[in-house]
């Protein structure tokens, strides 16, 4: 059983109402018990080609699939379909609002990383501010910029980090499980970003903290997504940033 299998095992099927694949974000809307629920995931794409197989073979008919059928696309080796799958998981995952605390990932990392070595997988806009708030910040990225290390350095970096913060996008590109195995047993492990499922299932896979997103205004978010919005625009359209902590994790 993989992490994706475990996440999908706790989902209840729902009717799909809408699927939007935007320039930066993908959204899936399902019919929930108390209204529409929208899940987000980063839109990943393969290198653009003018010939060959389509990126989304079911384009135009994705909304006719069930929620669980969309969720199973998370295992696809086609990155855009995997984005749809993770967005569907985020729309279907059981809500636990009593466990949500309104705090963004930057604050969570800064709190737990004060005076410590922090490994951050993924490039985030708060990195310049975060550097001044933790002991030592090491950033790993698939397309590293100045001051960042390539993602391939993870086996050398993660075992020595006190705090490891991993972008939820790694669930889409199927690298999350391998990265979790590299973390030291005593490290604080955080998964962050709007692609992150707010599911206790991740706590069973050595994750301590989840910093994700809850869509509070479905229609404005859909409009922003399909018009190419980046996350600050999607956030303003109607997204709540929340954190969940593993039960028993020391505060």
Query: What is the reported pLDDT for 251?
Result: 66
CA–CA gap between residue 211 and residue 195 (Å, rounded): 10
Name the 3-class secondary structure at 199: coil
CA–CA gap between residue 83 and residue 225 (Å, rounded): 13
Q: Is the pLDDT of residue 47 over 90?
A: no
CA–CA gap between residue 191 and residue 69 (Å, rounded): 25
Q: Is the pLDDT of residue 13 over 70?
A: yes
Average pLDDT, the chain: 95
Query: What is the reported pLDDT for 34?
Result: 82
Q: Is the pLDDT of residue 243 over 90?
A: yes
Which pair of tokens denotes residue 114?
């004060």
DSSP secondary structure string for all residues of 55-71: S-TTTTTGGGSBHHHHH
Q: Look-up: residue for tokens 């913060």?
A: 165
Query: What is the reported pLDDT for 49?
Result: 65
DSSP state of 156: H
Q: What is the band of 161 on the pLDDT scale with cuts at 50, 70, 90?
A: very high
Query: What is the reported pLDDT for 52?
Result: 72
CA–CA gap between residue 194 and residue 42 (Å, rounded): 8
Q: Is the pLDDT of residue 51 over 90?
A: no
Q: Is the pLDDT of residue 2 over 70?
A: yes
Find residue 167's DSSP bridge partners. 192
Least confident of 49-53, 75-79, 136-140, 198-202: 49-53
Q: pLDDT, tens digit, for every residue of 167-213?
A: 999 999 999 999 999 999 999 999 999 999 999 999 999 999 999 99
Those residues whose C-beta lies under 8 Å from the C-beta of residue 214, and which sit 6 or more positions away, are 100, 198, 239, 240, 242
Neighbours of 183 (CB within 10 A): 21
Q: pLDDT, tens digit, for every residue of 60-106?
A: 999 999 999 999 999 999 999 999 999 999 999 999 999 999 999 99
Query: What is the reported pLDDT for 53?
Result: 79
Quote the percentage of the chain above a pLDDT of 90.
Answer: 90
CA–CA gap between residue 37 and residue 14 (Å, rounded): 10
Query: What is the reported pLDDT for 4?
Result: 97
Beta strands at 16-21 and 25-32: parallel, antiparallel or unpaired? antiparallel
> What domains can be seen in the chain, in order of their start residue?
3-95 (3.30.390.100), 98-213+240-245 (3.40.50.11590)
Query: What is the reported pLDDT for 168?
Result: 98
Query: What is the reported pLDDT for 50?
Result: 65
């Amino acid at each position: 059983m993989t992490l994706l299998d475990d996440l999908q095992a706790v989902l209840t099927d729902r009717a799909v109402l809408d699927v939007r694949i935007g320039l930066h974000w993908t959204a899936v809307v399902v019919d929930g018990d108390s209204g529409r629920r929208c899940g987000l995931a980063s839109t990943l794409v393969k290198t653009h080609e003018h010939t060959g197989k389509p990126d989304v073979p079911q384009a135009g008919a994705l909304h006719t699939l069930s929620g669980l059928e969309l969720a199973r696309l998370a295992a696809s080796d086609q990155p855009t379909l995997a984005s749809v799958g993770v967005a569907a998981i985020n729309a279907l995952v059981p809500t636990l609002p009593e466990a949500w605390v309104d705090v963004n990932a930057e604050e969570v990392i800064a709190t737990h990383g004060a005076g410590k070595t922090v490994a951050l997988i993924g490039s985030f806009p708060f990195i310049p501010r975060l550097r001044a708030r933790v002991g030592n910040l090491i950033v790993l990225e698939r397309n590293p910029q100045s001051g960042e290390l390539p993602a391939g350095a993870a086996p050398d970096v993660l075992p020595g980090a006190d705090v490891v913060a991993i972008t939820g996008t790694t669930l889409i590109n199927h690298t999350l499980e391998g990265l979790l195995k590299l973390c030291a047993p005593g490290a604080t492990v955080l998964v962050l970003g709007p692609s992150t499922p707010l599911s206790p299932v991740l706590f069973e896979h050595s994750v301590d903290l989840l910093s994700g997103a809850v869509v509070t205004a479905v229609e404005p978010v859909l409009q922003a997504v399909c018009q190419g919005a980046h996350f600050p625009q999607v956030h303003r359209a109607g997204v709540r940033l929340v954190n969940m902590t593993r039960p028993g994790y020391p505060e």
